[in-house]
Amino acid sequence: MQLTQCIKRAAQVDRHGIATIFAERQHTWPDFVARVSRLAGALRSLGVAQGDRVAMLALNSDRYLEYYFAIPWAGAVVVPMNIRWSPAENAYSLNDSGARVMIIDDAFVAMVPKILAEATVDTLIYAGDGEPPQGMLSYEALIADNAPAADAERVGEDLAGIFYTGGTTGFPKGVMLPHRGLWSSGVAIAHHLELSAGARYLHAAPMFHLADGAMSMACCVVGAGHVMISAFSPQAVLEATSAHRPTHLLLVPTMVKMVIDDPGLAAADLSSVQRVLYGASPMPEGVLLEAFEKLPNCGWLQAYGQTELSPVATVMPPEYHVLEGPLAGKLRSAGRAAVCCEVEIVDEAGNVLPRGEVGEVSVRGPNTMLGYWNKPEETAATLIDGWVRTGDGAYMDEDGFIFIMDRFKDMIISGGENIFSAEVESALSKHPAVSECAVVGIPSEKWGEAVHAIVVPAEGTEATEADLIAHCRELIAHYKCPRSVEFRSDPLPLSGAGKVLKRELRAPFWEGRERDVN
């Protein structure tokens, strides 16, 4: 369970195989491993020691994949930074993780002064193609000027990465994932996708995101090739697929909808695509049926999980993506336990519930996290006797398929991104016109769920919906901000313990639906 093992094997058994394609650059597996080892050597020369954290804020590229392997090669820990976060949020992740080295590309250079106003970073490495800005080191020069380093051979329980996710207290949490976690999720995905060395994966989802990270690892486990586009757009996906012939794609449901609705789909050559993996948020059944019709030669797989699980828990393979026959009837499910995983549905005390009863999804396996970085209380509440309590309400049918019905955590999933209500409420509460507020998820045809704020104005103040949304955009990522604001004069409903009864606030929006989440 050592992350770097697979790329060394790929370089040994496939000397001429293409590891990465990005823009005009291509690298074979031996080239890729040489660059990884030289970048690791450069980091060590800069003082990066065993267990140190190295952050990266960048769009997709071949250099991002090199980062994922060079950091553990050097004995350090990756901290992938969310490209959609505000400077303040990314500064928080730097300070919280203690990362003193940050790799950054052209897309985010302008953000550096705002980040450095709140965070301490000793070394900035520029991963763009031009001359590095003042005060930054050149990524390519570091690789060219440093000798290869010996692999630190971090393995198993060793910390591989800190991946930030939303927080229930208004602050993001750093999920600590070990080598065994990322390795086992990669093996599981490789198995379920039937990946082989001849496969080629298109990185269309952002590479900082662990969904793409699991696919990256799966491909490296078998020595499959990687094609990167810098950022998702339906046009970029169609063009890259026609030009570079990937066999496998990963798309969140919103991306699937945008691709199948794009006018260029009919003219694009997608004949190379064998499998499309989707996940990160539930897939609307209507979108899936339309995708079946427009891409009839693809096999579809769904994966469900969360960051705390590296991230895979369940998988629904292509044979269950059917509308009739003995395997039909599972499209609304999240699939069954992935290889390497155990999945149970439990009550509050952790007792396993009978099939068909709704409880909390609980997962155990080598893919589980070590805990939350510097948050022992939250770790103890989530990681119990080796089982990760996901916070998702679901039932298991007689065939072992999981059907998600609700979320016990106060979380919204919009366009594949997890949004914790507490973060949005914390931002709203800082506006002087807000006396009370609550944030809930409401149905959205485009995004699955949309962030909706319910606000009780402070006496003698005035603020519009636009005012509050603009205020939030200064503090948190745009995708977390409310898409609608409802003003109320009456106090928000409270439980006997003084907590806002969000189920009551959400109920009118979800009335008449089979489940309380999309």
**Taking each helix axis from N to C terminus, what angle separates 234-244 and 253-261, rounded to the nearest 10 degrees?**
80
154-196 pLDDT, tens digit per residue, is 999 999 999 998 766 668 899 999 999 999 999 999 999 999 9
Identify the pLDDT of residue 168: 63
Mean pLDDT for the chain overall: 93
Residue in the structure block whose two tokens are 């109920």: 507
Of the three residues 337, 357, 391, the one that is the final residue of a domain is 391
- Distance, in Å, from the CA atom of 163 to the CA atom of 71, rounded to the nearest integer, reads 14
- CA–CA separation, 103 and 78 (whole Å): 11
Q: Are residues 176 and 313 in the same domain?
A: yes
Same-domain check for residues 177 and 36: yes
Give the helix, strand, coil percentages of the chain, each rounded to 5: 35, 25, 40
| Res. 501: pLDDT tops 90 | no
pLDDT score of 517: 77
- Residue 336 in any domain: the answer is yes
Total tally of structural domains belonging to the chain: 2
pLDDT tens, 417-438? 888 888 898 889 889 999 889 9
Query: pLDDT band at residue 282, thresholds of 50, 70 and 90?
Result: low
Helix (H, G, I), strand (E, B) or coil at 93: helix
Whether 516 is covered by a domain: the verdict is no
Same domain, 361 and 493: no
pLDDT at residue number 42: 98
The verdict on residue 407 lying in a domain is no
Question: Which structural domain, as residue segments, surrounds residue 301?
Answer: 5-391
Q: Are residues 376 and 421 in the same domain?
A: no
Residue 385 lies in a domain: yes
Which residue would you say has higher pLDDT here, 446 or 146?
Answer: 146
Statement to judge: residues 109 and 256 lie in one domain: yes
Rounded Cα–Cα distance for residues 334 and 399 (Å): 12
- 399 located within any domain: no
Distance between CA 155 and CA 270 in Å, rounded? 38
pLDDT digits 0-9 by tens, 64-121: 999 999 999 999 999 999 999 999 999 999 999 999 999 999 999 999 999 999 999 9
Collapsing DSSP states into helix, strand and coil, what is residue 90? Answer: helix
Name the pairing type of β-strands 448-457 and 25-28: unpaired
Residue 402 falls inside a structural domain: no
What is the identity of the amino acid at 354? P
Q: Of the residues 391, 424, 454, which one is the last residue of a structural domain?
A: 391
User: By the 8 A CB rule, do 204 and 258 touch?
Assistant: no
Global pTM?
Answer: 0.87
Peptide bond before residue 311 is cis, with ω within 30 degrees of 0 = yes
My answer on whether 357 and 445 are in the same domain is: no
Q: Select from 117, 74, 110 the least CA-distant residue to 95.
A: 117
What is the distance between the alpha carbons of residues 290 and 467, in angstroms, rounded to a whole number?
Answer: 38
Q: Is the dihedral of CA 495, 501, 503, 509 positive or negative?
A: positive
Residue 140 is assigned to a structural domain of this protein: yes
Picking from 376, 391, 406, the residue at the C-terminal end of a domain is 391
Sequence-separated contacts (24+) of 352-359 with Cβ below 8 Å: 353/395, 355/395, 355/396, 355/397, 355/398, 356/395, 356/396, 356/397, 356/398, 357/395, 358/393, 358/394, 358/395, 358/405, 358/406, 359/393, 359/394, 359/395
Q: Which pLDDT band, with edges at 50, 70 and 90, does 286 fall under?
A: confident
